[in-house]
């Protein structure tokens, strides 16, 4: 004899508390309508135009694949990314226009780590000895030559060096419990002694560097080459804080800005974004601001360890650039030997998550024109398709309820209650996932939810038929529920496991809207198990305490006539097991 489950009423109460928590989270999100896909609601179309006339189709497709991973990395956003005319990438995202998604799509995500040679306000510095060969158009980046040519010595009074006038943004340190976003205290007073202006010109300001100096970033940081310094003095940053247009060549020094209007003279890249293994956004321990955590491969970790040893607790700084713009810079507060670090600064949650997404899925292999076009698009299906899909689901649900009520009578009420609870829980999870994971409901997704109604009904039928079989063997209803559950449970688990496996395979190996169907099917299957174990079974056990069911009332569905018997043990023995 199977052991009876204790306190079915308590299990039901805990189950409804769980449903209440789900809808409480939905209320906090403030959304009571599910996000709909492109086919039902429409959305935003972003068109990227590749630079140049001879774009490699393979590179264009690779860029499209990277963008698809960025905007649809979870597999449930239902964004569509296509290429057109070997020149354009068209991205269609469900919902209203979102500037942060446009930024994620268009971002090149060229992440590079460089040493800071100079920092100054974004305005140019007057100097009569700036190299005439160095361009300094306001708002454009200036790339110094890899091997500078010799030039006349400048007069000491006209040294083009500039000192930092602002404290560096918090930005780079090992991710430890110690706050990681602080620059060295000595940097608050100004520039490092080797880069600050002085009465006597430095050797780098009077003597052209050796041919290989640019290839030694640590030495170059102490004594930047003359042409880089001259170009840095003449350079000005965009007044509106936008990113300057730079040719971010990793092999030569770079002059660029940050969004605060400061300009930077940076060494050649010492770590490339291609050496990044993973990136994630979060709030570090003992901190309140969002940060992006990075993990580098062995080569990047080795380079980072070398640089951190040279700069730790000093007044020299280290910058991180994204698409040529400085996004963070600071000194090292410790030696980072494992390749794990953090980018910190004034990030909002959305900014940190979008940056992590761009870095995680890689940089684009080709460049695109600035300011991609975006427009709102309507739904691809007629407006009545949504109502038709919902109507079909309700009709199917109603037919299942009517059949179970006619066939199982009193037990059919348990089926109806279970289906309604499953529907409520499914709706709550769809709302919650729409807010937290970007899940959008498409017509194939609705089809997946409708298919799951049959899977849910199968679980009830297997359980109820097992109870009836046990009662035909002479057991009372209360005993039959427990012994029947022990046998029906494994059958239902096996059936749901097959459905869940099919959903998982479709989700990972299918493409496009089939992923939405698979996700909805898998979600409904999991909810079926939750309802079956923590609502249906306890509900039937609880009903077994009532004489209406336990003694086989004619309308209970467990009477002798329904079971094909002459009598029911519950009636013959007065309901005693």
DSSP string covering 267-317, please? -S-SEEGGGEEEEEEE--TT--SEEEEEEE-HHHHHHHHHHHHHHTTSS--
Q: Are 364 and 329 in contact (CB under 8 A)?
A: no
CA distance 202 to 183: 25
- Confidence label for 159 from pLDDT (cuts 50, 70 and 90): very low
CA distance 17 to 361: 39
Residue pLDDT, tens place only, 293-329: 889 999 999 998 998 888 887 888 888 888 888 888 8
Q: Are 440 and 76 in contact (CB under 8 A)?
A: yes
Residue 187's pLDDT is what?
Answer: 32
The mean pLDDT of the chain is: 75
Q: Which of these, 33, 57, 50, 125, lies nearest to 90 by C-alpha position?
A: 50
> With pLDDT > 70 as the criterion, what percentage of the chain qualifies?
77
- Confidence label for 114 from pLDDT (cuts 50, 70 and 90): very high
CA distance 305 to 47: 41
Average pLDDT over residues 198-212: 36
What backbone phi and psi angles, to 5 degrees, belong to 329?
-155, 145
Neighbours of 472 (CB within 10 A): 14
Residue 6's pLDDT is what?
Answer: 58
Residue pLDDT, tens place only, 519-571: 888 999 999 899 999 999 999 888 888 888 877 788 877 777 777 666 555 54
Average pLDDT over residues 37-43: 74
- The better pLDDT of the pair 366, 114 is held by 114
Global pTM value? 0.56
Residue 577's pLDDT is what?
Answer: 39
pLDDT of residue 178 exceeding 70:
no
Question: Any idea which of 18-27, 31-40, 471-480 has the lowest mean pLDDT?
Answer: 31-40
407's CB contacts (< 8 A; 6+ apart) are 557
Residue 383's pLDDT is what?
Answer: 57
Average pLDDT over residues 141-153: 37
pLDDT of residue 158 exceeding 70:
no
Q: Are 98 and 44 in contact (CB under 8 A)?
A: yes
Residue 22's pLDDT is what?
Answer: 92
Residue 393's pLDDT is what?
Answer: 76
Domains of the chain: 8-36+381-572 (1.20.1640.10), 43-105 (3.30.70.3400), 108-348 (no CATH)
pLDDT of residue 17 exceeding 90:
yes
Q: Which residues pair with 45 in a beta bridge?
A: 92, 375
Average pLDDT over residues 332-342: 84
Residue pLDDT, tens place only, 71-91: 776 555 677 888 888 888 988
- Confidence label for 382 from pLDDT (cuts 50, 70 and 90): low
pLDDT of residue 52 exceeding 80:
no
CA distance 153 to 134: 16
Q: Which residues pair with 342 in a beta bridge?
A: 173, 293
Residue 162's pLDDT is what?
Answer: 34
pLDDT of residue 451 exceeding 90:
no
Neighbours of 452 (CB within 10 A): 23
Reduce the DSSP state of residue 167 to 3 states and report it.
Answer: coil
Residue 100's pLDDT is what?
Answer: 65
Distances (CA, A) of 554 to 410, 411, 477, 550, 571: 9, 12, 14, 11, 11
User: Judging by DSSP bridges, how do beta strands 340-347 and 318-322 pair with one another?
Assistant: unpaired
Residue 21's pLDDT is what?
Answer: 93
């Amino acid at each position: 004899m199977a052991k009876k489950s204790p306190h079915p009423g308590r299990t039901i109460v805990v189950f409804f508390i769980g449903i209440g928590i789900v809808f409480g989270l939905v209320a906090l999100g403030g959304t009571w309508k599910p996000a709909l896909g492109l086919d039902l609601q429409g959305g935003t179309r972003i068109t990227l135009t590749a630079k140049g006339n001879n774009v490699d189709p393979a590179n264009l497709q690779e860029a499209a694949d990277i963008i698809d991973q960025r905007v649809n990395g979870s597999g449930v956003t239902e964004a569509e990314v296509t290429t057109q005319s070997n020149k354009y990438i068209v991205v269609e995202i469900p919902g209203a226009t979102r500037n942060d998604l446009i930024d994620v799509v268009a971002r090149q995500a060229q992440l590079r780590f460089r040493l800071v040679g100079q920092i100054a306000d974004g305005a140019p510095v007057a100097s009569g000895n700036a190299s005439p060969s160095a361009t300094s158009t306001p708002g454009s980046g200036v790339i110094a030559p890899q091997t500078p040519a010799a030039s006349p010595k400048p007069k000491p009074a006209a040294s083009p060096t500039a000192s930092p006038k602002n404290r560096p943004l918090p930005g780079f340190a090992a991710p430890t419990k110690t706050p990681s976003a602080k620059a060295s205290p000595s940097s608050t007073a100004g520039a490092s002694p080797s880069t600050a202006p002085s009465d006597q010109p430095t050797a780098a300001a009077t003597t052209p560097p050796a041919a290989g100096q640019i290839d030694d970033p640590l030495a170059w940081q102490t004594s930047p080459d003359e042409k880089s310094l001259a170009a840095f003095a003449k350079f000005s940053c965009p007044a509106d804080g936008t990113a300057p247009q730079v040719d971010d060549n990793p092999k030569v020094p770079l002059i660029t800005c940050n969004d605060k209007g400061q300009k930077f003279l940076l060494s050649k890249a010492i770590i490339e974004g291609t050496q990044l293994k993973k990136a994630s956004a979060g709030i570090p321990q003992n901190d309140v601001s969002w940060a992006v955590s990075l993990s580098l491969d062995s080569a990047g970790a080795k380079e980072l360890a070398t640089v951190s040893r040279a700069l730790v607790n000093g007044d020299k700084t280290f910058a991180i650039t994204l698409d040529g713009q400085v996004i963070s810079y600071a000194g090292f507060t410790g030696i980072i030997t494992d390749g794990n670090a953090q980018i910190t600064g004034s990030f909002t949650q959305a900014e940190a998550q979008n940056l992590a997404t761009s870095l995680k899925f890689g940089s684009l292999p080709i460049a695109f024109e600035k300011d991609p076009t975006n427009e709102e698009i309507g739904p691809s299906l007629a407006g009545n398709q949504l109502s038709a899909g919902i109507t079909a689901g309700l009709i199917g649900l109603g037919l299942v309820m009517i059949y179970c009520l006619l066939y199982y009578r009193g037990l059919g009420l348990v089926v109806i209650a279970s289906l309604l609870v499953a529907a409520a829980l499914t709706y709550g999870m769809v709302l919650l996932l729409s807010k937290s994971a970007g899940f959008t409901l498409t017509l194939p997704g609705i089809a997946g939810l409708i298919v799951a109604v049959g899977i849910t009904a199968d679980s009830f039928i297997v359980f109820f038929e097992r109870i009836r079989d046990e009662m035909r063997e002479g057991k009372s209803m209360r005993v039959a529920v427990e012994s029947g559950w022990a046998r029906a449970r494994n059958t239902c688990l096996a059936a749901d496991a097959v459905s869940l496996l099919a959903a998982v395979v479709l989700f990972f190996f299918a493409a496009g809207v089939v992923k939405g169907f698979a996700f909805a099917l898998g979600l409904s299957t999991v909810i079926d198990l939750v309802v079956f174990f923590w609502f249906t079974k306890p509900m039937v056990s609880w009903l077994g305490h009532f004489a209406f069911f336990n003694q086989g009332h004619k309308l209970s569905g467990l009477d002798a006539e329904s079971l094909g018997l002459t009598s029911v043990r519950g009636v013959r023995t007065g309901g005693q097991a």
